[in-house]
Amino acid sequence: MLLHSREAAGFGRFLTVVLCIVFAFGHTVFSEGETEKVGAFFADKEHTNNWAVLVCTSRFWFNYRHMANTLSMYRTVKRLGIPDSQIILMLADDAACNPRNSRPAAVYDHPRKTIDLYGDNIEVDYRGYEVTVESFIRMLTGRVAPETPRNKRLLTDEKSNILVYMTGHGGEDFLKFQDSEEINSYDIADAFQQMWEKQRYREILFVIDTCQANTMFSKFYSPNILSIGSSEKGENSLSYFHDYDLGVSVIDRFTYYNLKFFETLDMSSKQTLADLVATYNHSLIRSHPGVRTDLFSRSLEKTYLTDFFGSVQNIELTREPFPIGRKSE
């Protein structure tokens, strides 16, 4: 029987743990108090898994920087512990294989070209013309065709924290896909509401780097969503680092200064979103980043960056041993 629902997925993980204990150790005996402790552990309201949805909506060589933005963020979340199995990477074009690329099979975010963002360890889940408004919405809401492979599915549940990062060309309340269609702020707002109703997330961090980016989260109305944008209404989000060898700009300013901060972090970091936001400097970014917190239940000072950009597993140690073993005959 195929299980598609959030309830089935969550129960499946719980059942797996229980069965592993039973089959490994035979009959297990818990007192009533110990059973309550086990139940409380599994009922913990903290998130238990992290996912990242990274979307470049632009195609064509002159939009190289948007692909570099997305691949730079991909490299960061992988370095901080989120595995490829929990990253959905959507690239509307493949700059690495573009015939104009003087550095074939490579993508860089700096003219010094010290780090190849493409490398040999990348998994692109949606590529080229697969990146559409429809495929993006279906992936978020879980409304995919039965034959859709696992790598194209967002297999989240009610304890998932999700980073959604988007970059491309946009305007007031819209973001262009493939230079041929648009997604608007209402579309994303309604998709997030469907996700909440279907218990597909615990918290979402929505980050967008585009012109007039802050308008893209103005219509959100679902709980537990924190939003960060690169520019105010009427403002452009500017590029950075023109590479004269490649003939294009290789990254956007907002994404660059975010990544510069992330390079100081590791998986054990206790830096918070408040620390990140405090680094935003208009004289460097050349636009006014915005942060929307009214839908989010925690303060930025109490929200670790690794709650979204990393994957740190919490382990609970008990002072009292559980009596796991075979019943005496």
- Point out the residues that are catalytic: 169, 211
- Report the DSSP beta bridge partners of residue 243: 248
Q: Which amino acid does the sequence have at 323?
A: P
* CA dihedral (184, 185, 186, 190) positive or negative: positive
- Report the DSSP beta bridge partners of residue 51: 162
Kindly write down the DSSP assignment for every residue of 243-277, as one continuous string. Answer: ETTTTEEEEEHHHHHHHHHHTT--TT---BHHHHH
List of residues 6+ apart from 31 with CB closer than 8 A? none
What long-range pairs does 184-190 form, CB within 8 A, spacing at least 24? 185/215, 185/216, 185/217, 185/218, 185/219, 185/220, 186/219, 187/133, 187/137, 188/216, 188/217, 188/219, 188/220, 189/219, 189/220, 189/221, 189/222
List of residues 6+ apart from 13 with CB closer than 8 A? none
CA dist 120 and 181 (Å) reads 32
CA dist 174 and 23 (Å) reads 53
